Every structure is written in structure tokens, then in C-alpha cells.
Copies of this chain bind each other. A is one copy, B any other.
Amino acid sequence: MAMSYEDPYLIISSDCHAGLPTEEYRPYLESRFHGAFDDFLAGRQARREAMTRLGVRNEDFAHKWFSDHEEGLRGGWDHAQRVKELDGDGVAAEVVFPDADAVDSQTAAPFGVGLGLSGDQDPELGMAGAKAHNRWLAEFVAHDPARHCGVALLPVTADPREVVAEIHRAKESGLGALMIPSMWVDKAPYHDRRYDPVWAAAAETGMPVVTHSGAAPREEYGDHLGIYVSEVTWWPARPLWFLLWSGVFERHPGLRFGVAESGCWWLPNLLWFMDRLYLGAHGGKKLSPFAELRRPPSEYLDRQVFVCATNTKRRELAQRYEIGVDNILWGSDFPHPEGTWPNTRNWLRSTFHDIPVGETRRMLGLAAAEVFGFDVRKLDPIARRIGPTPADLGQPADQGAVEASWARSRETGRHWLTGGDFPVMGPAAGPDAGVAP
């Protein structure tokens, strides 16, 4: 669809969260796991205390957060409330990850298979907990399949036959993507050929595979929150280079892989580093060739990789021509407090006001529609009803000048491929920059 300046944005949040209050998962769990579920519920207080000790949980903040947002937070599991909150934020559609409650973990999926899903999860309990969440989530998104893409939890380190079966079951139930653990821990790393049937099934069903920040080797951090936050985004990014260098993207060209809520600031350096390695950096002289790849890493990235970049930072937007505009999928992180809800409209204005409208349309929705298979024709009437316009975002009607201000950055792009020495990260300096050429 050709769009004009006046058209409202079709906004898709590539990173939202939903989950039942934990107790309510019981009917979705096979009855033979009910005893283990009681044990899991009994351990909640100890887990909460550990989170408080690390500083991830803060009593005072939690109290204020829940009293300020009591009604809206029910949107974590109540569909009618959720739609109100999405409409209020101008969000036409969303990708739904687990764990609605990031403050107090009251909606943790059974056996800790939510955002903390980890490779060393007990395989039987892990698959049982994942299926329980997946069953509930399929019911939840069925309220309005055009607006919600449900992300199935996939304990991918379990028996590959069971994992593949769950992919097909999830697809048939109406879910649209697959979340795998960021960390394999003591199981086979993701370069292992044992996962090939899993990647093949994901490609075949058209379900993108995603990691999401959450898991990390917390036992190494003591009670130092800063350590946790400094590297918690590295662990979900890590599978990217394991898949890439072991040829998974070459062998499975239909596979799409994404990293969620881990920023995208790390991607330009990684691409620069990996492309140069592949294309024969000086340091590569003593190294063997990379036989499992047929093209530079950035080509696989553009073809098959994306980032659910959540509340994208201005610094990251400055790097979008290195990352690839189409690889950046914005997200609101509803209903998490580190996200943009319920102030998304203001947040979009302060973040995107000087970014070209055409690129903004891609990052705020159209790229996500392609990756996750949303039907934009079905979403169009919703977007026209609730979506902010470029003018609402403070974007000038004279887009020629905006485009021109970014021309040097756009033309330089990935400078290591375009022949430039240096990145060009911001718009052209105005006449007041006071710099001799």
C-alpha cells in the first residue's frame, strides 16, 4: 500500500507480554504434573526473595507500580482490558511473549519456563510447563488473531522429536513464533546438528525463532545488579553467531531468527567484525576458511535475522543504516515498566521526530508485519482508528529536507562494505555546527 504523509502509522509492537496469574495455569497443565506444580508454587517466596536480593525486585517501586496501574495491568491476561491498552498506545498489533508481570513475577509460567527458560530446565517439566502456557496463549490470541501473534515457548534442548511435534502443534493451535532459551547451559550448543530438524520445522511452518532477554548466569553475579544488567542482553544475542557460523542460515534459508528486548546497539560492531573476518581481515591470514558459509554474515542477517528492539534508543536509531532499517522492529514491552506503555505516543514523538517517515513506518510496523506474518489489510482499519500520524510524532511535512539530512549517513551505510573508513551516525550538522570542512 502506498502511503502518504497524512496516513496514520500502522504500529506493531514486536515485544509485548501476556501470562496468567500462575495458579490459573493449573487447568492447562496435564494432571500428572499437578503435584510438581504445587511444589513449584510453594517455592515462589524463595524466588521472590532472591530477586529482591539481586535488586531486580524493589518493594517500594512494586507497590507504586501496582497501585498506579491496577486496571491496565489486568491487560496482562484479560483480553478486553488488553485491547483498551493497545488502543490507548496506538498499537494495532503485537507479538506476545510470556510473563506479563516483570515486577513481582505473579504471572510466571509453570516451572519457570517463561522469559527465564533455560537449557538446563528439566526436559519433562519444561515441556509440560511450555505446553500449558502455549495452550492458554492460543486461546488468548484467538480473541483477535489479526492483532496478536502468540509466541510459543519451546524448550529446544529437549528430545528433538518432541520439540518438532510441539512446533507443529503450536502452529496448528494458532501461535506464530517460537521462543527458545538464550542459554543451552549444559546441553548441546546451537551449532549442533541435532537441532537441524527443529530449524527445518520452524522454517517449514514459517514460525520465526526468537530469544528474549531474561536468562543469565546469575549464580556468578553475587548481589550485584549492575553486572546482571550489563550482560543480560549478551546472552540472548549469543545464539546468533552460533547459528550463523555453523551454517544454519545457509542450510535453512527459510528460517528467521530474532533477538528480543536486548537492544540493537551491539549489532553494527558485530556485523563489522564478522564481515571483516569472513572477507579476509588481516588477522585471518593464519585462519582456515569458513566453509559452511557462502556469503558474508551481513547478507544472512538481512535475509534472515531481525531484532525486536523494544523501546529503541536514539543512539540506536543513529546506527540504523548499519543495522539495516528493515531489521529493526520496535516494541512497547507492554505491560513491563521498562517499556513505553502507557506513554507510547509521547515516547514515539520524542524518539522519532527527526527520522524519515518512510523508515519510521518500517521500524514501527511494516517490518514486523513481514517477519511475523501479520495481515496489514486486516490491521489497516484499526491503524486508521488509533494510529498516530507523522504530524503527531512531530515529523515535518517537508520530508525532502529530513531525508537529505540523513543522506550522508544512509549512503555510507555499512562503511566496511561501501569503502568508507568511518561510520556516519547522525544527521548532517546544521549551519551552527561551526566546523571547518
Contacts and interface: CB of A to CB of B under 8 A. Distances in A.
Interface of A: 55-58, 61-62, 65, 102-103, 189, 191-192, 220-222, 224-227, 229-231, 234, 238, 241-242, 244-246, 263, 265-266, 269-270, 272-274, 277-278, 282-283, 285-288, 290, 292-293, 311, 314-315, 318, 337-338, 401, 404-405, 407-408, 415-416, 421-431, 433-437
Contacts of A242: 224, 227
Copies in the complex: 2
A405 B246 contact: no
Given A315-B416, A435-B405, A191 B286 contact: no
Contacts of A401: 436
A28 to B, nearest CB: 28
Nearest to A432: B437
A332 to B, nearest CB: 13
Contacts of A192: 222
Nearest to A270: B230
13 contacts: A189-B221, A191-B222, A191-B224, A226-B293, A230-B274, A272-B315, A282-B311, A315-B415, A315-B416, A423-B425, A425-B425, A428-B433, A428-B436
B191 A288 contact: no
A247 to B, nearest CB: 9
A234 B433 CA distance: 36
A266 B265 contact: no
A269 B269 contact: yes
Contacts of A408: 429, 433-435
A434 B421 contact: no
A105 to B, nearest CB: 12
A103 B286 contact: yes
Given A226-B290, A241-B227, A285 B61 contact: yes
Nearest to A245: B226
A422 B283 contact: no
Contacts of A234: 234
A415 B318 CA distance: 12
B286 A62 contact: yes
A425 B428 contact: no
Candidate in A245, A290, A408 with the most chain B CB atoms within 10 angstroms: A245
A263 to B, nearest CB: 8
A65 B285 CA distance: 10
Q: Which 9 A-B pairs have the closest CB atoms?
A: A226-B245, A55-B288, A422-B426, A283-B338, A318-B422, A404-B436, A230-B241, A314-B421, A428-B435
A434 B404 CA distance: 9
B229 A189 contact: no
Nearest to A263: B273
Contacts of A220: 189
Nearest to A228: B245
Given A408-B435, A424-B426, A435-B408, A56 B287 contact: yes
Given A56-B287, A227-B242, A265-B269, A315 B221 contact: no
Nearest to A436: B404
B265 A273 contact: yes
Nearest to A191: B222
Given A222-B192, A421-B314, A287 B229 contact: yes
A270 B314 CA distance: 15
A422 B433 contact: no
B241 A423 contact: no
A317 to B, nearest CB: 8
Given A263-B273, A318-B422, A423-B423, 15 more contacts: A56-B287, A57-B286, A58-B287, A61-B285, A65-B286, A224-B246, A265-B272, A269-B269, A286-B338, A315-B422, A405-B436, A424-B429, A428-B429, A428-B437, A430-B437
